[in-house]
């Protein structure tokens, strides 16, 4: 029996990994996809034509970047839907609007008009009954110092040159955002409680929790559809 069957995780599950920059989403995405034999959906950082420019000048490029991310993530959603699930997704579409676009608007690096245009587009594309929400959002959290060390260790130049206040602001916003998030079931994992890089067995308790959560939420969904 494989891990997916052992923990009762349906073959068509869609699991999205959320959390601030550097917390370990991509690493967790790979570990879960390996363990469950699922496909992955990654953010493309190296080929993003706006990201470098955005970090040089938030005001000039924040709207362009948000539109680019929205288009990319929507294409990925479509792909996941067409395959019929069985995916681990690196970052949720909810974070683009709930964290990034909102933060840049509120900090004055995206204009009110651009933000409104973006929100209208986001709502029209995403917040419809036809948009499938994930079975589970896994929220990775940890201490600010640990996350900052990971950003430094990864060493993307554009992120190294960004003031620490930017990462602090994002960290605080993530905390508030997840406490109020209710678009799909959430499993919170603290990065101090597992180490999928150095201890492969630490993924097992995570798989067990995922199985439990998805079974509960599917039961809940089907009983509410029946009544
Ligand atoms: N469990 C872990 N222990 C130690 N370092 C980790 C762990 N998970 C990720 N990292 C490291 O932290 C950095 C950021 O991880 P990454 O998965 O790219 O984060 P994200 O996708 O959230 O931005 C990378 O250098 C990665 O190797
Ligand atoms: N929606 C976004 N707006 C601005 N910046 C974003 C958005 N989504 C991702 N990013 C940035 C943050 C990081 O520098 C890279 C990749 O994110 P990561 O959390 O490391 O996967 O893109």
Domain ranges of the chain: 9-223
Fill in the DSSP letter of residue 162. Answer: S
Q: Does residue 34 have an active-site annotation? A: no
Is 209 marked within a binding site?
no
Ligand 2 atom at minimum distance from 91 CA: 21
> ipTM greater than 0.85, yes or no?
yes
User: Best substitution site from 17, 22, 24, 141 to test ligand 1's pocket, by max atoms within 8 Å of Cβ?
Assistant: 24
The answer to whether the CB of 24 is under 6 A from ligand 1 is: yes
Query: What pTM was computed for the model?
Result: 0.95
pLDDT in the model for residue 225: 66
Which residues fall within 8 angstroms of residue 64, CB to CB, at 6 or more apart?
A: 50, 54
Per-residue pLDDT tens over the stretch 69-79: 999 998 998 89
9-223, CATH topology level: Rossmann fold (3.40.50)
Q: Which residues of the chain have pLDDT under 70?
A: 129-130, 225-227
What is the spatial distance between Cα 34 and Cα 56, in angstroms, rounded to a whole number? 36
Active-site annotation holder among 34, 52, 90, 123: 90
Cβ-contact 31, 194 below 8 angstroms: no
Per-residue pLDDT tens over the stretch 66-106: 999 999 998 998 899 899 999 999 999 999 999 999 999 99
């Amino acid at each position: 029996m494989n891990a997916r069957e052992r923990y009762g995780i349906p073959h068509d599950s869609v699991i999205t990994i959320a959390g601030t920059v550097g917390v370990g989403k991509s690493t967790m995405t790979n570990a879960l996809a390996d363990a469950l034999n699922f496909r992955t959906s990654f953010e493309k950082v190296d080929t993003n034509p706006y990201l470098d420019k955005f970090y040089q000048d938030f005001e000039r490029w924040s709207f362009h970047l948000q539109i680019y991310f929205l288009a990319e993530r929507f294409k990925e959603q479509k792909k996941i839907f067409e395959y019929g699930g069985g995916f681990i997704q690196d970052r949720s579409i909810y974070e683009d609007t709930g964290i990034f676009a909102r933060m840049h608007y509120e900090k004055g690096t995206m204009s009110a008009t651009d933000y409104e245009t973006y929100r209208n587009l986001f709502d029209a594309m995403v917040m419809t009954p036809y948009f499938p929400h994930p079975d589970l959002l896994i929220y990775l959290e940890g201490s600010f110092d640990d996350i900052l060390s990971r950003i430094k260790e990864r060493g993307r130049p554009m992120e190294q040159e960004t003031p620490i206040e930017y990462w602090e602001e994002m960290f605080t916003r993530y905390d508030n955002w997840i406490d109020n998030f209710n678009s799909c079931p959430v499993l919170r994992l603290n990065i101090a409680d597992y180490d999928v890089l150095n201890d492969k067995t630490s993924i097992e308790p995570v798989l067990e929790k995922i199985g439990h959560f998805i079974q509960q939420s599917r039961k809940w969904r089907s009983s509410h559809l029946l009544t």
